[in-house]
Structure 1
Amino acid sequence: MTERKPHKCCGELLACQISIKTCDRRQHLQYYAIPFPKKVSIDHYPKRSPFRSSVQGRVTEMESAIPNPPNARIAVVTGGNKGIGLEVCRQLAGAGVTVVLTARDETRGAAAVEKLREAGLSDVIFHQLEITDAPSIARLADFLKARFGKLDILINNASILGVEYLLDPSLTSEEKFSGMDKGQRLEWLTSGVRGTYDAAREGLQTNYYGTKHVIEALLPLLQASSDGRIVNVSSEWGLRLITNEELKQELNDVEKLTEARLDEVLDAFLNDFKAGELGARGWPEHFSAYKVSKVTMNAYSRILATRHPELRVNCAHPGYVNTDMSIHSGPLTPEEGAANVVKVALLPEGGVTGAFFADGEEAPFV
């Protein structure tokens, strides 16, 4: 007999994203080859049905495990199923914050939540999110509005390197980098990737536009908080790597900079990439899309901080971390990198906004 995989609604049920009343019960019944009437309720399942008891019990257990007192702080972490994102979720939950862990892949995201719960962190729930997909972002916003009515902390961690990998991250061991300093590790990483136009474009769409669209969708919920915070996970690879001095000064002049101008800058970068003129035009040549996406996200964060002084909007460089993105070449552990991000997220109320933090300490953008 062929083993059946769980129906697509099961993951949402177990993550408390939908109730039994709203899930597609007829599809469940049909999927499990159980006869059904035109309209059914959970009572249609036999009282001793293993399916009924397991679903009801699991949903009830998960709902009761996530209290929602009026003063509870709610955080969303994008790209939370592994690496820095997972450790950010762990540390926030350990600090008493209710965490909505998001990830593109439902199976991996749900598994990450289960891992945290097994470690005793019960105030973590999962919601699917693809930051480059508008309907996915809208579903998250609707869920947060219905479930919590506000959002206190948004940590935009989801990101890609914007290159093609020539090496398999799963085949890299820490022993390979024994004795290497940071520069040698970066040199090795550079040799393991290749820049292409398509990868660069995807990098900008994810790191800049995807993050921006998440912020725009969740902004009303952050404004509903008495102390809304946005932390954009960034990089020390910033403005100092732009050798075009005129462009560097323009991107550092927050009072005059606009979102429309940032769009023009990104379009110009892609055009120069396609024409093979990155160096001649003053752009970084290695990991160029990643660096430019972080430069423009830093600039957008500063615009946002000026526009919304009631919020705390900051950028945080976690450090060079051992993750899949770095092909595990980073000297810092995910726990260490996450601590640098969480420190910014949990700054005292009324603290700095529109700032950049490197390794947990405030630093210049340039």
Structure 2
Amino acid sequence: MKTVLITGANKGIGFETARQMAALGYFVYIGCRDLSKGLEAVRQLNATGLANIDCIQIDTTDISSVQAARRILDSKSGRLDILINNAGIAGDQPQHISTGSIDNLRNVFETNFFGAVQTTTAFIDLLRQSPEPRIVNVSSQLASLSFHTNSQNPNHRIYDAYSCSKTALNAFTVMLAKEYADTNFKINSVEPGYTATDLNGFKGLQTPAQAAEVIVKYATIDDAGATGKYFNKEGEMAW
């Protein structure tokens, strides 16, 4: 049975991604900072008949926690087939880039960018043990520089710190995919869409279950699939 680690998976899009991946027959590790919340998520999924679920405590901003999670997963399975870097925060609002708090900017980057990078690098050796390793970095439409260049919507300005962190995450996707271009890795960024979660005060236009579908699609991409790309439900997006 192939294994999946999803960070920030005790709620929202991550939780629904875990549900869908488990329903497809993958063994899913729910990554969560708070172990009690992770175990509760496992119980909820078990109650729906999904037994192929476990929880691993991981704070992606804490390298000691990331390394401990890597050791636990190694002892449990010896390899990792799919890593979904889903953990993320919106940060304090507003975030106008010229006037926003530098501490807020750093805090957002710590989770949305550095956390994803150090989680990936910590687990890369376990991913190498898989015949079909996949990495999905959960991004956002707000990561797209093309989108910001062409958009006239002033409401996007309240998310400048968040947008920059996701743009950096997209850059990481490109660089890592280039590094592993001649291997069996598939590494992509995915924009799940404007979704009703606590990240945005539940103002999104779709459910977490709907958002999870595109993440699952690229987490399970076959060997003929793309790598180093940026996708939403409609297909490839402009960087």
Instruction: Confirm whether residue 218 of structure 1 aligns to residue 218 of structure 2.
Output: no
In structure 2, C-alpha distance between the alignment counterparts of 1:73 and 1:198, rounded to whole Å: 39
Q: Would the aligned equivalents of 1:162 and 1:204 in 2 still touch at CA under 8 Å?
A: no
1:198-277 → structure 2 map (5 Å cutoff): 198-237=103-142, 238-241=144-147
1:25-64 CA distance string (max 9 Å, x none): xxxxxxxxxxxxxxxxxxxxxxxxxxxxxxxxxxxxxxxx
Q: Which residue of 2 aligns with 1:76?
A: 5
TM-score (norm 1): 0.60
Say which of 83, 104, 108 aligns to 2:37: 108
1:51-106 CA distance string (max 9 Å, x none): xxxxxxxxxxxxxxxxxxxxx11000000000000000000000000000011111
1:196 is displaced (CA, Å) by 3.0
1:301-322 CA distance string (max 9 Å, x none): 1110010122100010000000
Instruction: Confirm whether residue 123 of structure 1 aligns to residue 52 of structure 2.
Output: yes
TM-score (norm 2): 0.91
Q: Would the aligned equivalents of 1:102 and 1:128 in 2 still touch at CA under 8 Å?
A: yes
1:364 is displaced (CA, Å) by 2.9
1:149 is displaced (CA, Å) by 1.1
1:363 is displaced (CA, Å) by 1.5
In structure 1, C-alpha distance between the alignment counterparts of 2:237 and 2:197, rounded to whole Å: 25
1:31-70 → structure 2 map (5 Å cutoff): none
In structure 2, C-alpha distance between the alignment counterparts of 1:348 and 1:219, rounded to whole Å: 19
Q: Would the aligned equivalents of 2:137 and 2:189 in 1 still touch at CA under 8 Å?
A: yes
Q: Would the aligned equivalents of 2:93 and 2:158 in 1 still touch at CA under 8 Å?
A: no
1:164 is displaced (CA, Å) by 4.3
- The aligned length equals 228
Q: Which residue of 1 aligns with 2:214?
A: 340
- In structure 2, give the amino acid aligned to 1:318: P
Structure having greater relative contact order (Cα 8 Å, sep ≥ 6): 2
Q: Would the aligned equivalents of 2:138 and 2:191 in 1 still touch at CA under 8 Å?
A: yes
Q: SS in structure 1 opposite 2:199?
A: coil
Name structure 2 gaps, 5 residues minimum. 150-155
Q: Would the aligned equivalents of 1:77 and 1:100 in 2 still touch at CA under 8 Å?
A: yes
1:56-205 → structure 2 map (5 Å cutoff): 72-164=1-93, 195-205=100-110
1:296-345 CA distance string (max 9 Å, x none): 11111111001012210001000000000010000100100011111111
Q: Which residue of 2 aligns with 1:354?
A: 228
In structure 1, C-alpha distance between the alignment counterparts of 2:17 and 2:119, rounded to whole Å: 18
Q: SS in structure 2 opposite 1:116?
A: helix
1:348 is displaced (CA, Å) by 1.9
Q: Which residue of 1 aligns with 2:164?
A: 292
1:143 is displaced (CA, Å) by 1.1
In structure 2, C-alpha distance between the alignment counterparts of 1:363 and 1:162, rounded to whole Å: 27
- In structure 2, give the amino acid aligned to 1:347: I
- In structure 2, give the amino acid aligned to 1:362: G
1:197 is displaced (CA, Å) by 2.6
In structure 1, C-alpha distance between the alignment counterparts of 2:2 and 2:224, rounded to whole Å: 16
In structure 1, C-alpha distance between the alignment counterparts of 2:25 and 2:66, rounded to whole Å: 25
Q: Which residue of 2 aligns with 1:364?
A: 237
1:100-155 CA distance string (max 9 Å, x none): 00111111111000000011000000010100001110011111212111110000
1:241 is displaced (CA, Å) by 4.9
Q: Would the aligned equivalents of 2:80 and 2:126 in 1 still touch at CA under 8 Å?
A: yes
- In structure 2, give the amino acid aligned to 1:205: E
Query: Which segments of structure 1 move beyond 3 Å, counting only runs of 4 or more?
Result: none
RMSD: 1.9
1:350 is displaced (CA, Å) by 3.5
